[in-house]
Amino acid sequence: MPRAHVGWSKAACPVAAAKEAVGKALSGVTEPAVVLFYASAAYNQEELAAAAKEAAGNVPVMGGTSFTGVITPDGFIGGDEGFCGAIALGGCGLAVAAAGEERGECPREAGRKAAAKAMAELGKAPSFFFMIAPPGEEEQYLKGIEDVVGRIPFFGGSSGDNDMSGKMKQYAEGVVVENGVAAAFFATTEKFANAYTGAYRNTGKCGVITKVEGRRLLVEIDGKPALDTVAAWMGKTPAELQGGNLLGATITAPLGVVDSEGDLVWVRHPLSGNPDGTMQIGNDLAEGTAVCLLEATRDELVESVPAAAKKALGDLGVPAGALLIVHCAGRAVGIGDRMEETVVKLKAACGDVPFLGILTFGEYGYAPWSRNGCGGLTLSFMALEK
């Protein structure tokens, strides 16, 4: 049998849906080590998570809610009545432990606690980890986990819901993490590779961040109101980018922060424009760093998905047995009614490699010679050896 197998369901009943998806995924794998499970926030989450764990038995289960659907070899599976997808991973060289922790008073401490629980269960040094958290404090959860395990590779994404109303949830071993972090630690003797990219072009329009409030309110670029500066870069007026207009307009024109080596652009998605010229941003920013305007067409958003798959599979350097996909929800909005076309192109790029994808409100990953990090409007594809 293969080392990975995918199952999905669109059953309206959360118990039936979870058991169908997880059961199908497990039916194709011998000695499964973990089930990654993604589902609609429209379900009763407690019933859903408990049923997924019951179907998995002693196999660890972790995951979270996905925006509008899941990406599978059978196409884009979504719908208002409910959807879920599962991928079971196995193999003699793989051990996995999963854990979750509510935020409590400190997200970084929650990350530490989740990591400590997973490490105690795993009983060996992890090779990489997978993380899901609600949007807002992802970097702090990451720092907490790294406080325990150090800087090992990771990937993952921020849970999503269908209407951006705050229904996002995380799953860890049959328990719903309402507002906190879920993580799965992978120990493997086999190869893995992550492709983490926004696949945007740099327009050459850039400036220095001169004022940030908190971690995510961009106040000034080059000493001027941030919204005014970005509007000028985009050839628009600040009034055109007020409120949620900014979020939609920047799907094809987000901001980017280039790392010190120049190897990776951390994409920052502006979420809303304020009357005082400030901008709410989807991930952390720091004063004194350079920020640039990026761009991509709708066609390029579509083509970037199979391209990222090919990069992850190519970087692996050996035949692949599974591809784990984290795809930005905002990019899916930009792709719109071409999402099914995108999945067809993805399947052609993957061949017979099983894959499952979640649509997220933030994406996590790394690149060679870079640190782990979080961004938006990004793709994070993890390939595992066959």
| Mean pLDDT for the stretch of residues 290-297 | 96
Round the average pLDDT of the chain to a whole number and report it: 96
Residue 278 is predicted with a pLDDT of 98
Residue 2 is predicted with a pLDDT of 63
Q: What is the pLDDT of residues 158-171, one digit of tens each?
A: 999 998 889 999 99
Q: 66 CB contacts (<8 Å, ≥6 apart)?
A: 38, 39, 40, 83, 85, 159, 160, 358, 359, 360
pTM of the model: 0.96
Do residues 68 and 42 lie in contact, with contact meaning Cβ atoms separated by under 8 Å?
Answer: no
| Token output for 321 | 């047995």
Residue 303 is predicted with a pLDDT of 98
Answer whether residue 182 shows pLDDT above 70.
yes
How is the chain split into domains, by residue range? 4-196+300-385, 201-295
Could you tell me the pLDDT band of residue 64, with boundaries at 50, 70 and 90?
A: very high
**Nearest Cα residue to 192 out of 93, 72, 262:** 93
Residue 371 is predicted with a pLDDT of 86
Could you tell me the pLDDT band of residue 142, with boundaries at 50, 70 and 90?
A: very high
- Range with lowest mean pLDDT among 10-14, 34-38, 103-107, 259-263: 259-263
| Mean pLDDT for the stretch of residues 262-276 | 91
